Each structure stands twice: as C-alpha cells, then as structure tokens.
Amino acid sequence: MSGVTLDRVVKEYGNLQVVHGVDLHVAPQEFVVLVGPSGCGKSTTLRMIAGLEEISGGTVTIDGRVVNRVAPKDRDVAMVFQNYALYPHLNVADNIAFGLRIRRTPKAQIASTVEEVAGILGLTDYLERRPADLSGGQRQRVAMGRAIVRNPKVFLFDEPLSNLDAKLRTQMRAEIKRLHKRLGATSIYVTHDQVEAMTLADRIVVMSDGRIEQVGTPMDLFLNPANTFVAAFLGSPP
Ligand code: ADP
Ligand code: MG
C-alpha cells in the first residue's frame, strides 16, 4: 500500500514511553494534520517517520516499504521545521542545493533544479542572499525549497508557520496547500493552531498523551467529536 502507514508505532526514551502504539494510514496525496497539546508526541511521531528518531516498536511504511532501518536521506520524505534549519553561512541558492550536493547530483542538474524551485517559491531575486538578510516569510520559503528540491513524495511539516505573524501565516498556509497539490505530494502537518488544522486538512488526527483520540475530516470532528477532549480542542458546540 502506498502513502504512509504507521502500525503500532511506539517510542520510548529510556523507561519512559511517550508514543503508545499509534496506528495511522495516510493515503497518497492526502493532507493530514496532526494536532494536540504540547508534549503529546506530535514531533516525536513525525521524527520517527523522517528517520530522525529511532522507532522503539511497530513499523513505519512509506510507499510500501518498511523504513524502520532506512537512513533519513534514503527515505522518500522531506521535513520542514519551525525554526527553518537553514545554514547561516550559505546563500539561498546553496541552502536549496544542499540536499542535492550531499547526494552527488551533477552540477548542471543542481543549477537547473535550484532555478526551478526558486521560481516556484518566488525566490529568484534572492538567490545570492544569506538567511540573515531575509524576512521570516522568505526564510520559510527557502526551508520549503530545501524540502521540495529532491522531489520527495512525502512532506512532513512541524509547526512551520509558528514563528510568522498572523497575516504571513495565512498567506503561507495557502502556499503550502498550493505546493502540496502542485507536487502531488502526501503531507503530514503538525500544528497546535486550530484554524490551520481546519483549513489545511483533508483529515485531522487528534493526539493526546501519546495516543490518537480521533481521526476524521474537519467536519466529522467538529460535528461528531468522539469525546470531550476532541470537542474542547476543536471548539465544537456543546
Ligand atoms: P509535541 O511535539 O506534541 O509537543 P514531543 O513529541 O516533542 O511533543 O514530545 C513528546 C514527549 O516526549 C514529551 O513528554 C517530551 O518531554 C518527551 N521527549 C521528547 N524528546 C525527548 C528526549 N530526547 N528525551 C526524553 N524525552 C523526550
Ligand atoms: Mg513538537
């Protein structure tokens, strides 16, 4: 089965279990938003899918391949972080190109790909600048450029817009949705922002304390919350 599948996924730090056997299937080209209070295990779950965190139990399958033992760079995923994770000493072009360089992509191909990605993200005029000389929105675009440059099938977003002001958040939200569609990607997006979840998601996954409380379309969850926790989180009518 393609897409992303979590089967009884567990995460333990020492004796402490923080993700307690999560089951989830994200269909190809679906946009799934993971919500829940701080500390409930959203980032840990995303990082296990990306390969940045060891999986303590269960399996993660990406496009039909169990990836538990596959290195991050060999998984068909890219992750966009809240703090951008840009290299301060590299200009925009080199930041975008980074993921291609470490895979020894030919120079000419790197140049044309960087040009294309910069065009998609409106960064063509900023390729020579360093991150310090960009606005928050531009930095977030570079971070997205770094993610899309390898043309991965799966995008993982960890609260990518939290550092932006409200106006820019609304704008970038629309851009992320547009990119997702344009690239035919499968996206898993973590946020604690209810509006972001409601507007971006095909389906919302509500997590609490390392478990999934409910999965459904924004309308399903809003109208038929499984419990008071989900209702409170989504602000459903009592
Ligand atoms: P969220 O992203 O939903 O805010 P996290 O996935 O970051 O939550 O964290 C889930 C739980 O795991 C929290 O209780 C957190 O303290 C714990 N945790 C995260 N990283 C580590 C770590 N490296 N060592 C020990 N505990 C951790
Ligand atoms: Mg987090």
**Does any ligand 1 atom lie closer than 6 A to the CB of residue 39?**
yes
**Does any ligand 1 atom lie closer than 6 A to the CB of residue 15?**
no
pLDDT of residue 126: 96
Three-state DSSP string of the chain:
CCCEEEEEEEEEECCEEEEEEEEEEECCCCEEEEECCCCCCHHHHHHHHHCCCCCCEEEEEECCEECCCCCHHHCCEEEEECCCCCCCCCCHHHHHHHHHHCCCCCHHHHHHHHHHHHHHHCCHHHCCCCHHHCCHHHHHHHHHHHHHCCCCCEEEEECCCCCCCHHHHHHHHHHHHHHHHHHCCEEEEECCCHHHHHHHCCEEEEEECCEEEEEECHHHHHHCCCCHHHHHHHCCCC
Taking the model in full, what pTM does it have?
0.92
Q: What is the pLDDT of residues 132-154, one digit of tens each?
A: 999 988 998 999 899 888 888 99
**pLDDT < 50: residue spans in the chain:** none
**Does any ligand 1 atom lie closer than 6 A to the CB of residue 40?**
yes
**Does any ligand 1 atom lie closer than 6 A to the CB of residue 61?**
no
ipTM above 0.95, yes or no: yes
| Residue to substitute in 6, 12, 13, 156 for testing ligand 1 pocket (most ligand atoms within 8 angstroms of CB) | 13
pLDDT of residue 238: 64
Neighbours of ion ligand 2 (CB under 5 A): 43
pLDDT of residue 22: 98
Ligand 2 centroid, distance to 147 Cα (angstroms): 19
pLDDT of residue 227: 94
* Residue with CA nearest ligand 1 atom 13: 39
Q: Which ligand is nearest to the CA of 34?
A: 1
| Residue to substitute in 16, 20, 44, 56 for testing ligand 1 pocket (most ligand atoms within 8 angstroms of CB) | 44
